[in-house]
Amino acid sequence: MSADTTSPAAGPVAERPAGPAGPPPERREARRVRRASRQLLYALLRPHRWPSGAALAALVLENAFQLAGPLLVARAIDLGIPRASAGDWNPLIRCVAGFTACGLLAAGTRYAFFRISGSVGQAVLLELRTRIFDRARHLPVAFHESYTSGAVISRLTADVDAVRDLIEASLDGLLTSVLTVTGISVLLLWLDAPLALVVLASIVPLVAMTRWFRRRSRIAYRRARDTVAEIIVRFGESMNAVRAVQAFRAERRKHAAMNRLNDTFRDAHTDALEVVARYTAGVRLTGNIALAVVLALGAWRVSSGALPLGVLAAFLLYLRRFYDPLDELATFNNLYASAAAALEKIADFLATPSSVPEPAAPVPLPRDRPVRGALAFRGVGFRYRPDTPPVLRGLDLDVPAGQTLAVVGATGAGKSTVAKLAARFYDPTSGAVLLDGVDLRRLPDRALRREITLVTQENFLFDGSVMENIALARPDAGPQEVRAAARAVGADAFISALPEGYDTEVRKRGSRLSAGQRQLVALARAFLADPAVLLLDEATSSLDIPTELAVRRAMDALLAGRTSVIIAHRLSTVLAADRVLVLADGAVVEDGPPARLASGDGPFAALHARWIHATG
């Protein structure tokens, strides 16, 4: 029933006055991210609070020694020089010696501050880089399929560099400026209250200008950080796809797109620099006006005998030091705006929840299971995002231990999704995937990766040797175990024929090897892992027929004695399976041995006929 409906029993519903509207969602999200960034900075600094306290103490002492200088100058003018003129040099000598000692002590404490703060800063940056890398490494495939690698690289490079600039180049300037302004304010009031009130009155417009500067610069630098990430993403994309770019003569289009991003980045930084220029000019104008007023008023008071000349000299020296740190504050605010925007990006990235979290109460696989590798889908439904149609609809499937199951179907039927769910790259939207009777969501990730291995058509080889790439599956495996795995899948012959054998560097993405050789190395890696369940997702689809035959022989050795799920289009791969599952629109439409299904009149028989016709 709607709110304005009347009820005979209850009478009309009284209309409540509308309460004050809360902030818009965008502003609430911005506040949340800023709060998270401050919490991140505090968490990074908390383990170093004692060294940070020592650095702050050194800075306070240095500031005190610096501020003592003008007082000694005033004493020298008002007492030392007149007494020296009368033949008594001791007061002047003491002032000069004190000034020299303050300079030496200020230099020593400054050195101590930089040594301590530098060590703390490097430790904080190391921890920040480690957190970003660890988070990126632990986030699931679902995250990386939507969050580009260029954006992650931007967090680790450009954003961390912005934080580094703040810590290394400007944080000491902020602390020095705050201590200097505070100390000088107290000394000015102590030296001469009327002149000090003139100076302190100038703080009012300075506070207003600082608030304006922080608001405007935050917007400009947030825009610049977004653009930097986009530039890295587009540049990485163009370099990774350089063959396609050149093959389709897309250089000019890519160049134009990069120019547009560079123009946006330039405009964002130009806006930020304009804000800095206005702020700095306003600070200096305010300082010069205050200096002129103090000089005029002070000269009048000196001439009237109300103020000693030395006090006026010290006042003017302090006044120059009072406004100089405000320029430092402008520089700090500039770097802080950039670093704050970077910290917001980093904090938001680190706070990204995992869509496949580690179980709070992990359940181990049964130790007494007679066989390992029984895979089951129980009423599994899945969609990649809430706003997309379902890919799987109530899938029920049992794959007994040791069976080889081939999954076929048209593009978009859900074949690769079955493999991704079985590997727990995603969690089902409904239902459960079980391994030996245990829900994958309750298995520790380490145990899951030990039991299930996925091999795809684009298996990645890292820059390193063939030995290192095979041993990726088991870093503790010895050279003989690696060679045995290669022999088992038929890769030993070609590897031994390479210039340095197993020590041959495969170069970037395995570019030194052919597609078939890369796939054999990937299969050797899977054999060395010795999983209970092996998932092969289009593992031979990109190979020519002779190469496929070599890989097929390797797969036969790999599949023997273990549960296997094969996603394939090639007839030879499918017919070698124990069982075929045909999917259509996310549901099972046919299930059985390949020979029986091929001789029938169902969907697989039609697919089989088309394969036969296409291959002659």
Whether the pLDDT of residue 300 is over 50: the answer is: yes
**Are 393 and 323 members of one domain?**
no
**449-479 per-position pLDDT tens digit:** 889 988 877 778 888 899 999 998 888 889 9
Which one of 322-336, 347-361, 384-398 scores highest in mean pLDDT?
A: 384-398
Which of the four pLDDT bands, split at 50, 70 and 90, describes residue 14?
A: very low
Average pLDDT, the chain: 82
Look up the CATH number of the domain holding residue 345.
1.20.1560.10
Amino acid 13: pLDDT: 40
Amino acid letter at 345? K
Amino acid 3: pLDDT: 39
**Are 456 and 333 members of one domain?**
no
Whether the pLDDT of residue 25 is over 60: the answer is: yes
Task: Give Cα 610 to chain centroid, integer Å.
Answer: 48
> Would you list the DSSP string of 261-305?
HHHHHHHHHHHHHHHHHHHHHHHHHHHHHHHHHHHHHHHHHHHTT
**Are 567 and 479 members of one domain?**
yes
**What mean pLDDT do residues 14-21 have?**
46
Look up the CATH number of the domain holding residue 560.
3.40.50.300
Amino acid 95: pLDDT: 86
**27-63 per-position pLDDT tens digit:** 676 677 677 777 888 888 888 889 988 988 998 898 8
Q: Are strands 579-584 and 587-592 parallel, antiparallel or unpaired?
A: antiparallel
**Are 342 and 383 members of one domain?**
no
333, 350, 367 - which closes a domain: 350
Does residue 11 lie in a domain region?
Answer: no
**Are 211 and 295 members of one domain?**
yes
**Are 388 and 323 members of one domain?**
no
Amino acid 508: pLDDT: 77
**585-604 per-position pLDDT tens digit:** 889 999 999 999 988 888 88
Which of the four pLDDT bands, split at 50, 70 and 90, describes residue 17?
A: very low
**Are 312 and 410 members of one domain?**
no
Which one of 59-73, 157-171, 479-493 scores highest in mean pLDDT?
A: 479-493
Please list, in sequence order, all residues whose beta carbon lies within 8 angstroms of the beta carbon of residue 516, skipping any fewer than 6 positions away. 543, 544, 547, 548, 550, 551
Whether the pLDDT of residue 110 is over 80: the answer is: yes
Phi-psi region of 501 (alpha: psi -120 to 50; beta: other; left: phi over 0): left
**What mean pLDDT do residues 158-169 have?**
79
Which of the four pLDDT bands, split at 50, 70 and 90, describes residue 330?
A: low
Amino acid 434: pLDDT: 94
Amino acid 75: pLDDT: 79
Question: What is the C-alpha R_g of the chain?
Answer: 36
**Are 343 and 443 members of one domain?**
no
**Are 326 and 469 members of one domain?**
no
Does residue 339 lie in a domain region?
Answer: yes
**What mean pLDDT do residues 392-404 have?**
92
**What mean pLDDT do residues 55-83 have?**
83
315, 350, 385 - which closes a domain: 350
Geometric angle at alpha carbon 150, from 335 and 426, rounded to 5°: 125
Amino acid 430: pLDDT: 94
- Residue with the larger pLDDT of the pair 208 and 3: 208
Question: 3-class DSSP state for residue 386?
Answer: coil
Question: Of 534, 530, 527, nearest to 564 (Cα)?
Answer: 534
Amino acid 183: pLDDT: 84
**237-277 per-position pLDDT tens digit:** 777 777 777 777 778 888 888 888 888 888 887 887 888 78
Please list, in sequence order, all residues whose beta carbon lies within 8 angstroms of the beta carbon of residue 393, skipping any fewer than 6 positions away. 381, 585, 586, 587
Q: How many percent of the chain have pLDDT more than 70?
A: 90
Does residue 368 lie in a domain region?
Answer: no
Please list, in sequence order, all residues whose beta carbon lies within 8 angstroms of the beta carbon of residue 210, skipping any fewer than 6 positions away. 279, 329, 333
Does residue 358 lie in a domain region?
Answer: no
350, 367, 388 - which closes a domain: 350
Amino acid 541: pLDDT: 58
Structural domain of 322: 38-350
Does residue 403 lie in a domain region?
Answer: yes
- With 0.85 as the threshold, say if the pTM is over it: no
**303-319 per-position pLDDT tens digit:** 888 878 877 787 777 77
Whether the pLDDT of residue 395 is over 90: the answer is: yes
Amino acid letter at 132? I
Does residue 471 lie in a domain region?
Answer: yes
**Are 128 and 169 members of one domain?**
yes
**Are 391 and 516 members of one domain?**
yes
- How many domains does the chain contain in total? 2
Q: Are strands 563-567 and 392-399 parallel, antiparallel or unpaired?
A: unpaired
Does residue 28 lie in a domain region?
Answer: no
Does residue 31 lie in a domain region?
Answer: no
**What mean pLDDT do residues 358-362 have?**
87
**193-202 per-position pLDDT tens digit:** 888 888 888 8
Amino acid 583: pLDDT: 92
**Are 107 and 234 members of one domain?**
yes
Amino acid 10: pLDDT: 39
